[in-house]
Amino acid sequence: MTKNDLAKEVAVSEKLCLSTAFKAVDGVFRVIKEALSKGEEVTLRGFGTLSVVQREERNAVHFKTKEPIVVPARRTVKFRISKELKELLNNGTVD
C-alpha cells in the first residue's frame, strides 16, 4: 500500500474529501518525520513505537569485489510493534 492508497482508504472509510485525506496523511507523516529528526520517540497506541537509534561504525565485505569496507556510523529508525498489532497479525483477532 502506498501513501496515495492510504489516503484514498482514509477518505473512503472516514467519508472525507479526497484532498482533505491527502492533506491529513501528509501532515501526519510530516509531524512524525520532524519528531524523529529531533531524536524524539513516536508512539502510536495500538500500532507501535518509532525511535531513533545510533548504529556504530562497522567492518564489512563488499559482496561483489570481496574487498573489506567500513560502513560509517549513522542514525536510523527502529520500529517496535505493539502487542495489539502483534496479536492481530498472529491470531487474526485483538483481545
Q: How far is CA 68 from CA 55, 56, 62, 65, 73, in A?
A: 19, 17, 6, 9, 16
Across all residues in the chain, what is the average pLDDT?
95
Confidence of residue 93 (pLDDT cuts 50, 70, 90): confident
DSSP letter (8 states) at residue 38: T
pTM to 2 decimals?
Answer: 0.81
What pLDDT sits at residue 95? 61
Question: pLDDT, tens digit, for every residue of 25-71?
Answer: 999 999 999 999 999 999 999 999 999 999 999 999 999 999 999 99
Q: Which residues contact 9 (CB under 8 A, 6 or more apart)?
A: 1
